[in-house]
Copies of this chain bind each other. A is one copy, B any other.
Amino acid sequence: MLDIKNTAADAPFVDAAELHAMMDEVSTFGGGPGGAMTRLTLSEEDRAARDWFAAFIKREGLKLEIDVIGNMFGLLDWAGPDAPVVMTGSHLDSQPNGGRFDGAYGVVAACAAVLALKRHVAATGIKPKTNIVVVNWTNEEGARFQPSLLGSGVYTGEIDLAFALARTDGDGVSVGEALDMIGYRHESAPPLPAAYIELHIEGSDKLEQAGLRFAAFQRFWGATKFRLAFLGRQAHTGPTPMAERRDALLGAAYLIADLKTIADEAGVDLHTSVGRLEVYPNSPNVVPAEAVCFIELRSGSAEVLAKAETDMNAAVELAAAKAGVGFEIRAVDRRRAGPMDPGLVRLAQETAKTIGQETLLLDTIGGHDAVSMAAVCPSIVIAVPCVGGVMHHPTEFTSEPDRELGVIILAGMLWRFCTDGNILEQR
C-alpha cells in the first residue's frame, strides 16, 4: 500500500506499523481462537479495552471525559476554545462470538489518525483551526442490553438516561450497575461537535463486488420494530374441535407468511423479518394461547417504511381474523430513515480522490452510532471492505492494506477541517 501513501503532498502520514500494533493490542481484550471476539459492553473485557483507550488519551495529552452512560471522549484541544470540533470514533463492544474489526477498528483508526495529525502539525508548523475528539460509545451492539446505540442515543438526547440505566441483561444486571462495576460512570461530556465521522468495516460485500476499496454511506435505513402478541385460547389439541380453536400460533404463521409477501411486493427497498417468536405455553398438545412476534421492517425510504407499516397492520388484522384470535402491540421502536450529511459525503469523495480511490456510495441498513448522531449534527460513516461481507462472526476480516487506506482517508478528512476550519459551513 505504500504506493498510495502521502500521494497528496500535504497529507498527514499514517504509520501502518503503529496502526496494526494498536489493532493487535486491542484485539487481546476478549479475543478468542480463530478470530473470535467476545467483548460484551461493560464486561471485564470491555473494561480492559476501555482502560487501554483511556491510557492512549492520557499518554497523547488529550483531555479524557467520561459521561453518565460511560461514553468515553478524548479531546485534542489545539485550536482554542472557540474553534469548531470534529468527532471521530466508533465502539469497542462486540457481539458474543463476533469479530475483531466491527467497531474496534473505528476507535483504533481514530487513535491512529490523531497520531498522524499530531506528527503533521509538528512537521509543518501549521496551526490547526479545528479541535478533534476521539470517542468510544457504550453498547452500540445491543447484544448485552437492548436497545442498541444506547450510549450515542443518550448523548444525543434521543434516549432517556433513566431508561437507559435501567436496561437489564439476561442476568438482571442493569446498565447502571454494570457501569459502576467497571468504574465507568462519570458526568463529563463534550458539547455536540460540528461534524461526526465514523470509520467502519462495510458489513456487506458490495465493495468487493464493485472491485472498489472505499465507501461512504450516504443514507441510513430506518427500522420499525414491533413486539406483537397474538392472543388465543389455551386448549387441548386432541379433543378440541378445529372450529372452536383460537390458535395464537396460527395467527402468527399467517402474519409471518404475509410479511414475506409484503417484502416481495415492495422490492429490494424493504426488508422484513420475524427473528424471534415466543409461544406460550409451547407444549406439543396444547393449542397456543399466545404467540409473540418480534417484527422488523427496514427501509432506506421513509415512504416505503410507512407503507410497510400500514400493510403490516392490515396483515395483522387479517391474520387475527382468519385464526379467530386477538392481538396486542406490546412495544414499538421506530428509527427513522434519513440521509447522511451531503457535505461530508463530498469531503469523503474528494479526500479519497486525492489518493486515487473511487468512493462507492452505499446505504447502511444496520445501525451505527453515526445514525444517532445524524439527528443532531452533520454525520457520516465511511467504510473499507470486509472479506466476503462477513460481519458479526469470528471470520470477519479486513486486510491490513484496507485498514491503512481507511485511516489515510479519515486523517485526510480531519486534516481538511484542521486547515480550513468548519468546511461544512463554507460549502
Contact = CB atoms under 8 A, between A and B. Distances in A.
A256 interface: yes
Contacts of A294: 284
Interface residues of A, number: 68
Q: Which of A97, A146, A275, A278 has the most CB of B within 10 A?
A: A275
A362 B36 CA distance: 55
A282 B286 contact: no
A354 interface: no
A282 B287 contact: no
Nearest to A394: B234
B242 A264 contact: yes
Contact of A96 (B249, B264, B281): B281
Given A250-B260, A253-B257, A274-B249, A238 B366 contact: yes
Interface string A265-303: 000101111111111011111111000001010100000
A82 B38 CA distance: 67
Interface string A360-398: 000011110000000000000000000001111100000
B273 A282 contact: no
B277 A279 contact: yes
A106 to B, nearest CB: 15
A236 B391 contact: yes
Contact of A239 (B234, B245, B364): B364
Contacts of A236: 203, 366, 391-392
A277 B282 contact: yes
Contacts of A237: 271, 273, 275, 296, 298
A203 B239 CA distance: 7
A277 B281 CA distance: 10
Nearest to A362: B239
Sort A-B residue pairs by CB-CB distance and give the 8 closest, nearest first.
A238-B366, A253-B256, A237-B273, A284-B294, A253-B253, A204-B239, A239-B365, A238-B365
